[in-house]
Amino acid sequence: MQHSSTRLPAIVFSSVVRSTQQLESHGGVYLLDLETEQLTQMIDWDDQSIDLTQRGGDRGLRGIAFHEDRMFLAAADEIFVYDPSFRLQGSIKNPYLRHCHEINTGGGKLFLGSVGYDTILEYDIEAERFTAGYCIRYHGFRRKLRRKNREGFQIRPRPKLTVFDPYDENGPERADTAHPSFPWWEDGTLYVAGGGLGHIYAIRDRRMRRYARIPYESHNAHPFRGGLLMNHSPTHRMIFTDMRGRIQKTWPVPLYDESDLEFANVPRDHAYQGFCRGIAVASDNIIVQGSSPATINLFQWEPAALIKSINVTMDVRNSVHGLEIWPFAEVPSAPPADGGQGGT
């Protein structure tokens, strides 16, 4: 293998366990050494206050992002801040943060996908305050056209951008019409993708334009090597497309025999195998990706191939969500003795 002369890195990833009941664990955060395959659960998300009323809503920790010596972990309506030893340092809240999925950092800012308000929130990390809200929403006839897509039509209406003050009580009303779940910042531009958009949109100087076409129900879609890299759960694969959404490379994720799966009888709209989330670049030729039941896949870029797969559990409810290369020199071998509840 082309990676044999270089040690594979460690990764950190979150998982969401769907269709669980109160008092059960709803996922957690793990460190995984890709070389040795040593797995350590650093956080067990078993908060008894978790709201189970909406599928995928308030359960589990999701997006992960880093800035200097801080690690940000997204829960549904709150961002937790940890140090490299997984000790809790504080949290970030905002009235417009609801059903947060993905988060990313760039330019000294933290960007949060708040799908409960059709919004990407912008947070200045050093100033410790929110600086902008970008509501990306379908209205009226365009909202009806968006719904038509679910019936098989490939209609891609353009949503409207509204920039608002995240501290203003007169901001957008609660709604999820566009599902802008994935923010990506690069070279002064904020790129926004989501399963309901049909395009990646680029926001710069508070103006929004269509950047590239993507398949509906894509996750983690972002600019990559002159094209677009993303996960596509309906077809159980990671894909690379050109700017018009035409597939150039594809990497199917492992699918298991139904008899080997745990909880395979749960409704498909709650949990199913081959659900794809999380992308991280390990080297020039290796991309790390996550799928369900919780599995970490190492894909080779050229030629496109699966070179290693590490299954964490056969519980089909357990889905990888956030996934990042561990950026610190030290890799903790166990969670802190206080469970990570220390800090400010």
Question: In whole angstroms, what is the distance from residue 130 CA to residue 165 CA?
Answer: 8
Task: For residue 110, give the nearest of 74, 135, 86 by alpha carbon.
Answer: 74
Task: For residue 320, give the nearest of 9, 102, 106, 92 by alpha carbon.
Answer: 102
State the average pLDDT over residues 254-283: 86
Taking the model in full, what pTM does it have? 0.90
Q: Indicate if the pLDDT at residue 126 is higher than 70.
A: yes
* Alpha-helical regions (H) of the chain: 140-149
Q: Which pLDDT belongs to residue 264?
A: 77
Question: In whole angstroms, what is the distance from residue 301 CA to residue 325 CA?
Answer: 17
Task: Tell me the two tokens of residue 211.
Answer: 């950047």
Residue 114's DSSP bridge partners are 100, 119
Q: Which pLDDT belongs to residue 155?
A: 73
Q: Which pLDDT belongs to residue 152?
A: 53
**Span 209-266, pLDDT tens digits:** 999 999 989 999 999 999 999 999 999 999 999 999 999 999 999 999 999 999 877 7
Residue 237's DSSP bridge partners are 232, 252
- Confidence band, pLDDT 50/70/90 cuts, at residue 57: very low
* Residue scoring higher pLDDT (263 or 74): 74
**Span 170-203, pLDDT tens digits:** 999 999 999 999 999 999 999 999 988 989 999 9
State the average pLDDT over residues 263-270: 68
CA distances from 168 to 95, 96, 173, 177 (A): 9, 10, 12, 21
HSE-up (13 A, CA, CB side) for residue 210: 13
Q: What is the mean pLDDT of the chain?
A: 88
Q: Which pLDDT belongs to residue 88?
A: 94
**Span 289-319, pLDDT tens digits:** 999 999 999 999 999 999 999 999 999 988 9
The H or E element containing residue 312 is none
Report the percentage of the chain scoring pLDDT > 70: 84
Q: Indicate if the pLDDT at residue 52 is higher than 90.
A: no
User: In the chain, what are the domains?
Assistant: 10-325 (2.120.10.80)
Q: Which pLDDT belongs to residue 147?
A: 56
